[in-house]
Amino acid sequence: MSWLDTSIMTQRGVAKGAVRATHYLTEAKQGTYHYTMGPYSAPVLHVQPGDRIVVETRDAFEGKITSEQDRLADKLNVPFLNPQNGPIMVEGAEKGDTIAVYIESMVPRGANPRGTCCMIPNFGALTGTDYTATLNDPLPEKIRKIDLDEHGVYWSKRVTLPYKPHIGTLSCSPEIDSINSLTPDNHGGNMDLPDMGPDSITYLPVRSPGGRVFIGDAHACQGDGEVCGVAVEYATTTTIRVDLIKAWTIAWPRLENAEVIMAIGSARPLEDATRIAYKELVLWMAAEYGYDKWDAYMMLSQCGRVRLGNFVDPKYTVGAAITKKYLALAP
């Protein structure tokens, strides 16, 4: 028996764990990719809870950076960055519900060197930026093209990093805003959370009819915080399964895998993102796992685990998690 059988998705989802039709959201089917996530774009797909969707994601630079000699200014056209597939409409989803996205697999697409990393002037954690505005000269521009496959990310002649893929950007639509795909917030978005990979479930708050799921920005691997601002960006064939949990109203995205449940916050400054994540986790433990609120708070002070997603995007992302085995024993 898989952990999935006892997951929140399976236990509370409309599909009750059943896997139904498979849809293919190819590049051709997608047509125009999106650079904002909102209620104003035309749906590309309508699915049922339990359906599987095979998505051809493009890399964050839309495949335009093909050589280490490219000049970024020639290739990138701000704000048209981080192209998203979607919106995918989930039958029956209404404001106040939650959509579950289980990631089955992420397979690289395209010819090697498939991976791209770069240093973008005035972007990243260790440089002045548009928001942390300084008068220093920008860091040099650098491009790194990287071979990768399902066995490894061949960073350099000597260093092979594990292939540990995840989805950088995943969301339902905000209710009225249309938010660029570089920014995470309480709808999800560009969270860059390494836990959001195969065999994980992300729970997203539904705020408009159909939920309007957007997905993109695959990373073949990423360090905590994505410190230079860019992971190993690549195009994938990503297979997800979606389900719908009716009347489960969550304020921020959440995540579940075999080991933990995690609440996710995105904000600046970084302590606010962390506060949100931990507060949501406390309230979750109190609402659904039988914990006294203060006991949950004090216990997380002893066993809570924090993942720094990004601290480079317009908002920073943090996940706060607790191991499921402690939850099972509570209170």
Which residue lies nearer to a second copy by CB, 102 or 278?
Answer: 278
Residues 290-309 that bind a second copy (CB under 8 A): 293-295, 297-306, 308
Nearest distance, CB of residue 50 and a second copy, angstroms: 31
Residues 177-206 that bind a second copy (CB under 8 A): 177-180, 186
Which residue lies nearer to a second copy by CB, 2 or 269?
Answer: 269
Establish if 60 lies at the interface with a second copy (CB under 8 A): no
Stretch that binds a second copy, among 68-76, 89-97, 196-204, 276-284 (CB under 8 A): 276-284
DSSP letter, residue 253: -
The two three-digit tokens of residue 247, written as one number: 């009347």
Which residue lies nearer to a second copy by CB, 24 or 155?
Answer: 155
Nearest distance, CB of residue 320 and a second copy, angstroms: 8
Which residue lies nearer to a second copy by CB, 19 or 303?
Answer: 303
279 φ, ψ to 5°? -65, -45
Establish if 225 lies at the interface with a second copy (CB under 8 A): yes
Establish if 156 lies at the interface with a second copy (CB under 8 A): yes
Establish if 311 lies at the interface with a second copy (CB under 8 A): yes
Establish if 279 lies at the interface with a second copy (CB under 8 A): yes
Nearest distance, CB of residue 200 and a second copy, angstroms: 19
Residues 4-33 that bind a second copy (CB under 8 A): none
* Cα 208 from Cα 96, distance rounded (Å): 9
**Taking the C-alpha atoms of 90, 98, 240 and 3 in order, what is their torsion angle to the nearest 10 degrees?**
-140
Residues 98-127 that bind a second copy (CB under 8 A): 117-119, 124-127
Inter-residue contact 196 to 307 (CB < 8 Å): no
Which residue lies nearer to a second copy by CB, 141 or 199?
Answer: 141
Q: Where are the alpha helices (DSSP H) in 31-177?
A: 72-75
What region does 226 belong to: left with phi over 0, alpha with psi -120 to 50, or beta?
A: left
Nearest to 65 by CA among 115, 124, 20, 25: 115
Establish if 134 lies at the interface with a second copy (CB under 8 A): yes
Q: Please spell the DSSP secondary structure of 276-301, one letter per residue.
A: HHHHHHHHHHHHHS---HHHHHHHHH
Please pick, from the candidates 147, 149, 224, 259, the single residue that binds a second copy as defined by CB under 8 A. Answer: 224
Establish if 170 lies at the interface with a second copy (CB under 8 A): no
* Cα 29 from Cα 226, distance rounded (Å): 31
Nearest distance, CB of residue 214 and a second copy, angstroms: 14
* Cα 293 from Cα 283, distance rounded (Å): 7
Please pick, from the candidates 99, 228, 261, 285, the single residue that binds a second copy as defined by CB under 8 A. Answer: 228
The two three-digit tokens of residue 276, written as one number: 């949100």
Task: Give the contacts of 232 (CB within 8 A, at least 6 positions apart).
Answer: 115, 116, 117, 146, 148, 153, 155, 161, 219, 220, 221, 222
- Cis peptide bond prior to 79, omega within 30° of 0: yes
Residues 202-221 that bind a second copy (CB under 8 A): 221
Please pick, from the candidates 176, 199, 258, 287, the single residue that binds a second copy as defined by CB under 8 A. Answer: 176
Which residue lies nearer to a second copy by CB, 2 or 271?
Answer: 271
Which residue lies nearer to a second copy by CB, 258 or 303?
Answer: 303
Nearest distance, CB of residue 165 and a second copy, angstroms: 12
Establish if 272 lies at the interface with a second copy (CB under 8 A): yes
Task: Give the contacts of 299 (CB within 8 A, at least 6 positions apart).
Answer: 291, 326
User: Cβ atoms within 10 A of the Cβ of 267, count?
Assistant: 20
Establish if 288 lies at the interface with a second copy (CB under 8 A): no
